[in-house]
Amino acid sequence: MSEYAIEAAGLRRTYRSRTGWLRPQRREVEAVRGVDLTVGNGELFGLLGPNGAGKTTTIKLLNTLLIPTAGTARICGFDVVRQTREVRRRIGYVFGGDRGLYDRLSARDNLRYFAELYGVPGREQKRRIAELLELVRLAGRENERVEGYSRGMRQRLHIARGLLHRPRVLFLDEPSIGVDPVAARELRQTVADLAATGTTVLLTTHYMAEADELCGRIAVIAGGRIQALGTPAELRHHADGRRVLEVEAYGVTDERLAAIHALPRVREASLEVIGAAQVLAVQSDAGVDVQADVLRELDGVRLGRVTARQPTLEDAYVAIVNRVDERRSPEAVPA
Ligand X SMILES: Nc1ncnc2c1ncn2[C@@H]1O[C@H](COP(=O)(O)OP(=O)(O)OP(=O)(O)O)[C@@H](O)[C@H]1O
Residues that bind ligand X (CB under 6 A): 15, 17, 29, 31, 49, 51-57
Looking at the Cβ atoms of 279 and 321, the one nearer to ligand X is: 321
Cβ(102)–Cβ(93) below 8 Å: no
Calculate the dihedral angle through the C-alpha atoms of 156, 162, 163, 165, rounding to the nearest 10 degrees.
150
Q: Does residue 113 contact residue 153 with C-beta atoms inside 8 Å?
A: no
Which residues in 152-191 contact another protein (CB under 8 A)? 161
| Residue (65 or 259) nearer to ligand X, CB | 65
Q: Does 63 bind Mg ion (CB under 5 A)?
A: no
Task: Give the Å distances, CA to CA, from 6 to 10, 59, 171, 251, 332.
Answer: 13, 11, 11, 44, 34
Angle CA 313–319–322, to nearest 5: 135
Nearest residue to ligand X by CB is: 56
What 8-state DSSP symbol labels residue 166? Answer: -
CB neighbours (10 Å) of residue 254? 8
Q: Torsion over CA of 109, 115, 116 and 117, rounded to 10 degrees?
A: 110
Which is closer to Mg ion, CB of 56 or CB of 283? 56
> CA nearest 303: which of 259, 256, 254, 252?
252
Binders of another protein among residues 29 to 88 (CB under 8 A) are 60, 63-67, 85-86, 88
Given ligand X, another protein, Mg ion, none, residue 53, with its beta carbon under 5 to 8 Å by kind, binds ligand X
Query: What span, in angstroms and rounded, lies between the C-alpha atoms of 289 and 99?
Result: 48
**Smallest distance, another protein to C-beta of residue 131, A:** 19
Distant-in-sequence, close-in-space partners of 20: CB < 8 Å, separation ≥ 6: none
Contact window for another protein (CB under 8 A) among 91-99, 228-236, 252-260, 313-321:
91-99
DSSP secondary structure of 63-113: TTSS--SEEEEEETTEETTTSHHHHHHHEEEEESSS-SS-TTSBHHHHHHH
89, 141, 166, 242: residue in contact with another protein (rule CB under 8 A): 89
Nearer to Mg ion by Cβ, of 56 and 110: the residue is 56
- The option from ligand X, another protein, Mg ion, none interacting with 304 (CB < 5 to 8 A, set by class) reads none
| Per-residue contact string for residues 97-116; x = within reach of another protein by CB under 8 A | x-xxxxxxx---x--xxx-x
Task: Indicate whether 57 belongs to the interface with Mg ion (CB under 5 A).
Answer: no
**Alpha-carbon distance values, 109 to 68, 97, 103, 241, 267 (Å):** 34, 20, 10, 55, 54
CB nearer ligand X, residue 137 or residue 151? 151
Q: 200-239: which residues touch another protein (CB under 8 A)? A: none
Interaction of residue 110 with Mg ion, rule CB under 5 A: no
Residues touching Mg ion: how many (CB under 5 A)? 1
What is the Cα–Cα distance from 260 to 295, expressed in whole angstroms?
9
- Are 269 and 283 a contacting pair, CB within 8 Å? yes
Binder of residue 240, out of ligand X, Mg ion, another protein, none (CB less than 5 to 8 A by kind): none
Residues numbered 303 to 332 that lie near another protein (CB under 8 A) are: none
Residue 49 site contact among Mg ion, ligand X, another protein, none (CB < 5 to 8 Å, cut-off depends on kind): ligand X
Q: Kindly tell me which of 115 and 175 has the beta carbon lying closer to ligand X.
A: 175
CB 95 within 8 A of CB 177: no
Looking at the DSSP bridge assignments, the partners of residue 38 are 7
49 vs 96, beta carbon nearer another protein: 96
**In this complex, which beta carbon is closest to ligand X, that of residue 53 or of residue 120?**
53
Site residues, Mg ion (CB under 5 A): 56
Which residues of this chain interact with another protein, rule CB under 8 A? 15-16, 60, 63-67, 85-86, 88-89, 91, 93, 97, 99-105, 109, 112-114, 116-119, 145, 161
